[in-house]
């Protein structure tokens, strides 16, 4: 997994971060980190970390927590078959909130620019990869001294996450 677990929710746009729960598969196949954009896989009937622009068509939001509670629970052993991940019973997904995501080099971001999936579930680009499925819009902080953000490998941009599933206006 190329992403890191991090609390990237900057602010809510209502009185709290709107959240929905979704089913998880706890075998390690579809793990995701806190802060990843998630989409609904209608074949497997679960949420997964966003991995393409095409899957952004069923974007559900941003992971409020990782798929697992703890990376490993050893049950008193240093290693061996008893080592296993401890999972939550469901995925907790936030939407309608502003969250920070990594930007793309050589791009300049302005307020209300549409952003799209780039290289992983926490990196976005202004360049439409072709299918035209934006994951949200850039939202500059109130009172910001700068009206633009110059993108880079470690530069974060604030994005209003707009879900496309179950309905875009949720």
pTM for the predicted model, two decimal places: 0.86
pLDDT band of residue 2 (cuts 50, 70, 90) is: confident
Task: For the chain, give the percent of residues with pLDDT over 90.
Answer: 54
* pLDDT mean over 143-169: 84
3-state secondary structure of 73: strand
Instruction: Examine residue 127 and state whether it is found in any structural domain, yes or no.
Output: yes
| Interior angle at CA 81, CA 76 and CA 85, nearest 5 | 75
What is the rounded CA–CA span in Å between residue 139 and residue 91? 26
* Cβ neighbours, 10 Å, residue 20: 17
Instruction: Examine residue 56 and state whether it is found in any structural domain, yes or no.
Output: yes
What is the rounded CA–CA span in Å between residue 95 and residue 117? 16
Instruction: Examine residue 40 and state whether it is found in any structural domain, yes or no.
Output: yes
- Its sign, for the CA torsion 110, 114, 118, 120, is positive
Read off the DSSP letter of residue 34.
Answer: T
| pLDDT tens string 62-105 | 999 999 886 655 555 555 555 677 888 899 999 889 999 999 99
pLDDT band of residue 121 (cuts 50, 70, 90) is: very high
Check residue 153 and give its pLDDT. Answer: 87
pLDDT(136) > 60: yes
Can you give the length of the chain in residues? 170
Q: What is the chain's alpha carbon radius of gyration, rounded to the nearest angstrom?
A: 17
pLDDT band of residue 1 (cuts 50, 70, 90) is: very low
Q: Which range of residues forms the domain containing residue 43?
A: 9-161
What is the rounded CA–CA span in Å between residue 133 and residue 144? 28
3-state secondary structure of 119: coil
pLDDT band of residue 11 (cuts 50, 70, 90) is: confident
Instruction: Examine residue 96 and state whether it is found in any structural domain, yes or no.
Output: yes
| pLDDT tens string 32-47 | 999 999 999 999 899 9
Domain count, the chain: 1
Instruction: Examine residue 122 and state whether it is found in any structural domain, yes or no.
Output: yes
Instruction: Examine residue 169 and state whether it is found in any structural domain, yes or no.
Output: no
Q: Which residue has the tokens 């500059």?
A: 140
Instruction: Examine residue 166 and state whether it is found in any structural domain, yes or no.
Output: no
Residue 93, CA distances (Å) to 17, 49, 97, 164 in order: 9, 11, 11, 13
Instruction: Examine residue 170 and state whether it is found in any structural domain, yes or no.
Output: no
pLDDT(117) > 80: yes
């Amino acid at each position: 997994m190329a992403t890191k677990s991090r609390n990237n929710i900057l602010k809510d746009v209502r009185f709290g971060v709107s959240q929905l729960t979704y089913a998880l598969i706890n075998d390690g196949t579809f793990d995701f980190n806190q802060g990843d954009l998630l989409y609904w896989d209608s074949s497997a009937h679960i949420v997964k970390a966003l991995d393409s622009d095409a899957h952004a068509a069923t974007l559900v939001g941003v992971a409020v927590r990782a798929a697992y509670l703890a990376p490993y629970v050893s049950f008193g052993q240093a290693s061996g078959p008893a080592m296993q991940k401890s999972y939550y019973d469901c995925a907790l997904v936030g939407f309608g909130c502003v969250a920070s995501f990594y930007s793309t080099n050589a791009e300049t971001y302005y307020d209300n620019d549409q952003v799209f999936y780039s290289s992983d579930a926490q990196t976005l680009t202004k360049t439409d990869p072709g299918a035209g499925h934006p994951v949200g819009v850039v939202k500059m902080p109130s009172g910001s001294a700068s009206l633009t953000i110059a993108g880079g490998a470690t530069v974060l941009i604030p994005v209003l996450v707009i879900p496309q599933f179950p309905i875009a206006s949720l």
